[in-house]
Amino acid sequence: MFGPPGAGKGTQSQLLMSRYNLTYISTGELLRKEIREDTEIGKKVKEKIEAGGLADDETIVKLINRAIKNHEGSDGFLFDGFPRTYVQAYILDGLFIRLQRSLTRIFILDISDEECTKRLLQRAKEQDRKDDNEVVIKKRLQEYHQKTLPVLDFYKNTGLLTRVDATGTSEDIFSRIKQHINEDIKKNAINVVMFGYPGAGMTTQASRLAKEFDLTMIATRELLQEEVKAQTPTGKQIQPYMEKGLLLPDEIVIRQIEKRIQKTNGDGRGYVFKGYPRTLVQAYILDGILKKKGHAINCVINLNVNYIELLKRLDARSRTQKKMPYDNSASTIVSRLEEHESHSEAVLEYYRQHNQVIDVDGTGEIEDVYNRVREPVLRASKNLR
């Protein structure tokens, strides 16, 4: 967030942090914390400051690196006071590369020096700040134009610079900023795997996610059932597998998924996969399919429902029009559950290694379960990293 003194950076920063779950990183605050806690870094910085100097770039980058790693749970970071020099811009760029992150936007609050002076003088009057006089304000504005703004030259060809009219109420300004951030959020592709045992409610929850987040639902079983119903050559080949609830050859399933993705022609923000992947090999295959589209899996929702509840649900389903071929008897239901269990741990472990699995309690009312499912996907959709 760039802007001259009095532009409202502090107010807008607070609103951004609250609205988008961002972590505020201020180099000044980080340094003061080290000094206050009398750490080794704090002692060195204090000596430099007392001698009329500034903290060196190496110290600052160490503190920023630590701050980022200590707040991995946030959806992003808002920087204040960094970068202030061309060199620091390169440092931040290098730090982001190492942490596999990137800047999303650089907001420049546009406002005249006259309006800034007027605001600062009013603030000085209201808060009885005698150090904020016209001479001091003029000097601070000059420093901003001469020392801070030139840093933006580093970013001039990146497409990140976004000028925002900083006049009007704080709500007006924030509304202008939000428009740009929401544009970024909508550009973020979301790809979700809905995982769970048969009867866990994957179809219901995946359908709701697809509707709310503008995703294309790819349910492999439904795709294959269409082939069987149409009695295509592929349908005749896979019918025996489906009647027993067995895994199909990967070659067949891949072709169906690719055909479905091709049919969407880029419509929507991404995909929610239900019933796939069911094996570790399929997890690798799915990564490859999405990579060809420039996509990747964002999160895996693992619906947890105990065995007794699953058996009850599948037995109840066997008496409805939604019944599956393997719902006809207790033995086939148990066989299907056992078959899923034999492969599920390897798939989940694959995604857990990438911190992508979110375990969700799949019991209770549909609406309650959806609220639990929706939250991590919403976070993925807002992720600005």
Domain containing residue 279: CATH number: 3.40.50.300
- 344-363 mean pLDDT: 91
- 233-239 mean pLDDT: 85
Spatial separation of the C-alpha atoms in residues 126 and 122, rounded to whole Å: 6
Q: Which of the pair, 336 or 28, is modelled with greater confidence?
A: 28
Contact 48, 54 (CB under 8 A): yes
Quick one: pLDDT at residue 329? 62
Q: Are residues 278 and 155 in the same domain?
A: no
The CA angle 139-142-147, to the nearest 5 degrees, is 120
CA 234 from chain centre, in angstroms, equals 38
- 315-322 mean pLDDT: 74
Q: pLDDT-based confidence at 348, cuts 50/70/90?
A: very high
Q: Which residues form the domain of 170?
A: 9-186
Q: Are residues 179 and 211 in the same domain?
A: no
Q: How many domains does the chain have?
A: 2
Spatial separation of the C-alpha atoms in residues 247 and 278, rounded to whole Å: 8
> Does residue 4 form part of some domain?
no
> Does residue 32 form part of some domain?
yes
Tally DSSP H helices, then E strands, for the chain. 16, 9
Residues 6+ positions from 382 with CB-CB distance below 8 Å = 20, 21, 75, 185
Q: pLDDT-based confidence at 384, cuts 50/70/90?
A: very low
Q: Are residues 164 and 199 in the same domain?
A: no
Q: Which structure tokens are listed for 308?
A: 């007794």
- 76-95 mean pLDDT: 86
Quick one: pLDDT at residue 331? 66
pLDDT digits (tens, 9 = 90+) for 53-81: 678 888 888 898 888 888 876 778 898 87
**Percentage of residues of the chain with pLDDT beyond 70:** 92
Q: pLDDT-based confidence at 173, cuts 50/70/90?
A: very high
- 193-204 mean pLDDT: 91
- 38-51 mean pLDDT: 85
Q: Pairing between strand 76-80 and 215-219? A: unpaired
Tokens 């601070």 belong to 140
Q: Are residues 172 and 104 in the same domain?
A: yes
Region of 164 on the Ramachandran plot (φ > 0 left; ψ -120 to 50 alpha; else beta)? beta
> Does residue 301 form part of some domain?
yes
Quick one: pLDDT at residue 78? 92
Summary mean pLDDT of the chain: 85
Last residue of a domain, one of 186, 219, 239: 186
Quick one: pLDDT at residue 181? 87
| Cβ-based neighbour number of residue 255 at 10 Å | 12
Q: Pairing between strand 357-361 and 299-304? A: parallel
Q: Which of the pair, 234 or 359, is modelled with greater confidence?
A: 359
- 91-95 mean pLDDT: 86
Residues 6+ positions from 248 with CB-CB distance below 8 Å = 224, 238, 241, 242
Report pTM. Answer: 0.58
- 8-17 mean pLDDT: 90
Q: Which structure tokens are listed for 202?
A: 């994957």
Q: Are residues 153 and 278 in the same domain?
A: no
Q: pLDDT-based confidence at 323, cuts 50/70/90?
A: low
